[in-house]
Amino acid sequence: MTKQEALNIVLNCSKIYYRNLENKNIIFIYEKECNKYDYIETTFFPHNYLHLTGLNLIRNRIKSSVDFYNLCLRNNLSTTDFEFKSNGTTQKKLEILSSIMQIDKKARIVGDYNSQKLYLSTDKLIGNINMCLGFIKENNYYIANTALKEDIRNIVEEQGRIVLILKKNIKDKKYNGILYKNKNVNQNEVNKIISNLEIRNKIINI
Protein backbone atom coordinates (compact mmCIF):
# COMPACT_ATOMS: atom_id res chain seq x y z
CA MET A 1 0.00 0.00 0.00
CA THR A 2 1.35 3.43 -0.95
CA LYS A 3 1.01 6.48 1.26
CA GLN A 4 -1.33 8.02 -1.32
CA GLU A 5 -3.56 4.97 -1.18
CA ALA A 6 -3.53 5.16 2.62
CA LEU A 7 -4.40 8.85 2.47
CA ASN A 8 -7.39 8.19 0.23
CA ILE A 9 -8.70 5.52 2.62
CA VAL A 10 -8.25 7.70 5.70
CA LEU A 11 -9.95 10.71 4.10
CA ASN A 12 -12.90 8.70 2.81
CA CYS A 13 -13.40 6.79 6.05
CA SER A 14 -13.33 9.96 8.15
CA LYS A 15 -16.54 11.06 6.43
CA ILE A 16 -18.18 7.71 7.26
CA TYR A 17 -16.98 7.97 10.87
CA TYR A 18 -18.48 11.46 11.06
CA ARG A 19 -21.88 10.30 9.76
CA ASN A 20 -22.07 6.93 11.44
CA LEU A 21 -20.05 6.86 14.67
CA GLU A 22 -18.90 10.27 15.88
CA ASN A 23 -20.63 11.28 19.12
CA LYS A 24 -22.77 8.14 19.08
CA ASN A 25 -23.58 5.59 21.77
CA ILE A 26 -24.00 2.01 20.61
CA ILE A 27 -25.25 -0.87 22.77
CA PHE A 28 -24.26 -4.41 21.76
CA ILE A 29 -26.42 -7.02 23.53
CA TYR A 30 -25.02 -10.53 23.35
CA GLU A 31 -25.68 -14.06 24.56
CA LYS A 32 -22.77 -15.05 26.79
CA GLU A 33 -24.26 -18.39 27.84
CA CYS A 34 -27.37 -20.28 26.81
CA ASN A 35 -30.27 -17.90 27.49
CA LYS A 36 -28.03 -15.60 29.56
CA TYR A 37 -27.35 -12.15 28.16
CA ASP A 38 -25.15 -9.14 28.80
CA TYR A 39 -24.41 -5.89 27.03
CA ILE A 40 -21.62 -3.45 26.26
CA GLU A 41 -22.40 0.25 25.88
CA THR A 42 -19.87 2.06 23.71
CA THR A 43 -19.19 5.65 22.75
CA PHE A 44 -17.18 7.20 19.89
CA PHE A 45 -15.46 10.60 20.00
CA PRO A 46 -13.52 12.60 17.37
CA HIS A 47 -10.18 11.81 19.04
CA ASN A 48 -10.77 8.03 18.68
CA TYR A 49 -10.49 8.06 14.88
CA LEU A 50 -6.69 8.32 14.74
CA HIS A 51 -6.24 5.13 16.82
CA LEU A 52 -8.34 3.18 14.33
CA THR A 53 -6.19 4.18 11.35
CA GLY A 54 -2.91 2.92 12.82
CA LEU A 55 -0.98 5.89 11.44
CA ASN A 56 2.01 7.53 13.13
CA LEU A 57 1.70 11.31 12.92
CA ILE A 58 4.59 13.58 12.00
CA ARG A 59 3.87 16.32 14.50
CA ASN A 60 4.95 19.45 12.74
CA ARG A 61 1.54 20.94 12.04
CA ILE A 62 -0.74 18.31 13.62
CA LYS A 63 -0.95 18.93 17.35
CA SER A 64 -3.52 16.36 18.44
CA SER A 65 -5.71 13.44 17.35
CA VAL A 66 -8.67 15.83 17.05
CA ASP A 67 -6.61 18.09 14.81
CA PHE A 68 -5.80 15.05 12.64
CA TYR A 69 -9.48 14.12 12.41
CA ASN A 70 -10.51 17.64 11.43
CA LEU A 71 -7.84 17.76 8.72
CA CYS A 72 -9.22 14.50 7.33
CA LEU A 73 -12.77 15.86 7.26
CA ARG A 74 -11.59 18.96 5.39
CA ASN A 75 -9.41 16.90 3.00
CA ASN A 76 -6.38 18.85 4.21
CA LEU A 77 -4.27 15.91 5.35
CA SER A 78 -1.12 15.24 3.33
CA THR A 79 1.10 12.20 2.82
CA THR A 80 3.85 14.19 4.54
CA ASP A 81 1.79 14.31 7.75
CA PHE A 82 2.07 10.62 8.63
CA GLU A 83 4.12 7.44 8.44
CA PHE A 84 3.24 3.75 8.57
CA LYS A 85 4.14 1.87 11.74
CA SER A 86 7.22 -0.30 11.28
CA ASN A 87 5.48 -3.48 12.48
CA GLY A 88 3.15 -3.59 9.46
CA THR A 89 -0.08 -3.10 11.43
CA THR A 90 -1.01 0.16 9.71
CA GLN A 91 -1.67 -1.42 6.33
CA LYS A 92 -3.77 -4.18 7.93
CA LYS A 93 -5.91 -1.64 9.79
CA LEU A 94 -6.45 0.43 6.68
CA GLU A 95 -7.53 -2.61 4.66
CA ILE A 96 -10.55 -3.11 6.94
CA LEU A 97 -11.13 0.51 8.03
CA SER A 98 -14.22 1.00 5.84
CA SER A 99 -15.80 -2.09 7.43
CA ILE A 100 -14.87 -0.87 10.90
CA MET A 101 -16.78 2.34 10.18
CA GLN A 102 -19.90 0.16 9.94
CA ILE A 103 -19.31 -1.82 13.13
CA ASP A 104 -22.88 -1.01 14.21
CA LYS A 105 -24.16 -3.04 11.24
CA LYS A 106 -21.47 -5.68 10.75
CA ALA A 107 -20.63 -6.82 14.31
CA ARG A 108 -21.79 -10.32 15.21
CA ILE A 109 -19.53 -11.47 18.08
CA VAL A 110 -18.37 -10.03 21.43
CA GLY A 111 -15.63 -11.42 23.63
CA ASP A 112 -12.91 -10.71 26.19
CA TYR A 113 -9.49 -10.27 24.58
CA ASN A 114 -7.32 -13.33 25.30
CA SER A 115 -4.00 -11.39 25.48
CA GLN A 116 -2.58 -13.49 22.66
CA LYS A 117 -0.79 -10.62 20.91
CA LEU A 118 2.13 -9.02 22.73
CA TYR A 119 1.74 -5.61 21.07
CA LEU A 120 -2.00 -5.31 21.68
CA SER A 121 -3.53 -3.74 24.79
CA THR A 122 -7.32 -3.81 24.90
CA ASP A 123 -10.13 -5.35 26.97
CA LYS A 124 -13.17 -6.25 24.88
CA LEU A 125 -13.42 -7.14 21.19
CA ILE A 126 -16.48 -6.62 18.98
CA GLY A 127 -16.61 -7.70 15.34
CA ASN A 128 -16.89 -10.67 13.00
CA ILE A 129 -14.71 -13.24 11.22
CA ASN A 130 -13.01 -10.54 9.10
CA MET A 131 -12.38 -7.65 11.47
CA CYS A 132 -12.95 -6.34 14.97
CA LEU A 133 -12.67 -3.31 17.21
CA GLY A 134 -10.90 -3.34 20.56
CA PHE A 135 -12.41 -1.42 23.48
CA ILE A 136 -11.25 -0.22 26.88
CA LYS A 137 -13.59 0.93 29.63
CA GLU A 138 -13.72 4.57 30.70
CA ASN A 139 -16.28 5.34 33.39
CA ASN A 140 -19.56 3.72 32.28
CA TYR A 141 -18.70 3.32 28.59
CA TYR A 142 -16.35 1.32 26.41
CA ILE A 143 -14.12 3.41 24.12
CA ALA A 144 -12.65 2.05 20.86
CA ASN A 145 -8.85 2.03 21.04
CA THR A 146 -7.78 -0.20 18.14
CA ALA A 147 -8.90 -1.85 14.89
CA LEU A 148 -7.79 -5.33 13.87
CA LYS A 149 -7.84 -7.33 10.67
CA GLU A 150 -8.46 -10.58 12.54
CA ASP A 151 -11.02 -13.34 12.86
CA ILE A 152 -12.41 -12.35 16.25
CA ARG A 153 -12.94 -16.02 17.15
CA ASN A 154 -9.17 -16.52 17.31
CA ILE A 155 -8.43 -13.77 19.83
CA VAL A 156 -11.26 -13.92 22.38
CA GLU A 157 -11.59 -16.21 25.38
CA GLU A 158 -15.26 -16.94 24.80
CA GLN A 159 -17.56 -15.92 21.97
CA GLY A 160 -20.76 -14.05 22.73
CA ARG A 161 -23.31 -14.01 19.90
CA ILE A 162 -24.70 -10.51 19.31
CA VAL A 163 -28.50 -10.55 19.32
CA LEU A 164 -29.37 -6.83 19.40
CA ILE A 165 -27.67 -3.54 18.48
CA LEU A 166 -29.04 -0.12 19.41
CA LYS A 167 -27.64 3.31 18.56
CA LYS A 168 -28.29 6.93 19.54
CA ASN A 169 -26.67 10.34 19.59
CA ILE A 170 -24.71 11.02 22.78
CA LYS A 171 -26.91 14.02 23.56
CA ASP A 172 -30.08 11.88 23.42
CA LYS A 173 -31.15 10.38 26.73
CA LYS A 174 -32.67 7.21 25.25
CA TYR A 175 -32.27 4.80 22.34
CA ASN A 176 -35.07 4.99 19.77
CA GLY A 177 -35.63 1.46 18.52
CA ILE A 178 -33.40 -1.42 17.47
CA LEU A 179 -30.78 -1.11 14.72
CA TYR A 180 -30.02 -4.84 14.38
CA LYS A 181 -31.83 -7.96 15.61
CA ASN A 182 -30.59 -11.51 15.13
CA LYS A 183 -33.06 -13.34 12.91
CA ASN A 184 -33.37 -16.17 15.44
CA VAL A 185 -34.65 -13.85 18.18
CA ASN A 186 -38.39 -13.13 18.20
CA GLN A 187 -40.11 -10.09 19.69
CA ASN A 188 -41.09 -11.84 22.91
CA GLU A 189 -37.44 -12.78 23.47
CA VAL A 190 -36.39 -9.19 22.73
CA ASN A 191 -38.75 -7.91 25.43
CA LYS A 192 -37.51 -10.50 27.90
CA ILE A 193 -33.82 -9.86 27.20
CA ILE A 194 -34.15 -6.10 27.59
CA SER A 195 -36.22 -6.43 30.77
CA ASN A 196 -33.77 -8.88 32.35
CA LEU A 197 -30.82 -6.58 31.57
CA GLU A 198 -32.63 -3.68 33.24
CA ILE A 199 -32.03 -1.37 30.28
CA ARG A 200 -35.65 -0.88 29.26
CA ASN A 201 -35.52 2.66 30.70
CA LYS A 202 -32.77 3.45 28.17
CA ILE A 203 -35.03 2.70 25.18
CA ILE A 204 -38.02 4.63 23.80
CA ASN A 205 -39.36 2.01 21.40
CA ILE A 206 -38.58 -1.70 21.05
Per-residue pLDDT of the chain (206 residues; tens, 9 = 90+): 899 999 999 999 999 999 999 999 999 999 987 778 999 999 999 999 999 999 999 877 788 999 999 999 999 999 999 999 888 889 999 999 999 999 999 999 999 988 776 577 888 999 999 999 999 998 889 999 889 999 999 999 888 999 999 999 999 999 988 889 999 888 888 888 888 888 888 888 76
> Hey, which bits of 45-140 come out as E strands?
56-57, 82-83, 109-112, 124-127, 132-138
How many domains is the chain partitioned into structurally?
1
- Domain assignment present for 190: yes
Rounded Cα distance between 27 and 110, Å, is 12
- Domain assignment present for 202: no
Distances (CA, A) of 127 to 91, 106, 173: 19, 7, 26
Task: Enter the DSSP assignment of 159.
Answer: -
> Each residue of 7-26: b (16+ CB within 10 Å) or e?
bebbbebbeebbebbbebbb
- Domain assignment present for 75: yes
- Domain assignment present for 201: no
- Domain assignment present for 180: yes
Output the pLDDT for position 72: 96
- Domain assignment present for 172: yes
- Domain assignment present for 165: yes
- Taking only Cα atoms into account, the Rg of the chain, rounded to an integer number of angstroms, comes to 18
Domain containing 85: what range?
3-194
- Domain assignment present for 131: yes
Q: Collapsing DSSP states into helix, strand and coil, what is residue 37?
A: strand
Output the pLDDT for position 35: 78
Rounded Cα distance between 103 and 40, Å, is 13
Rounded Cα distance between 46 and 59, Å, is 18
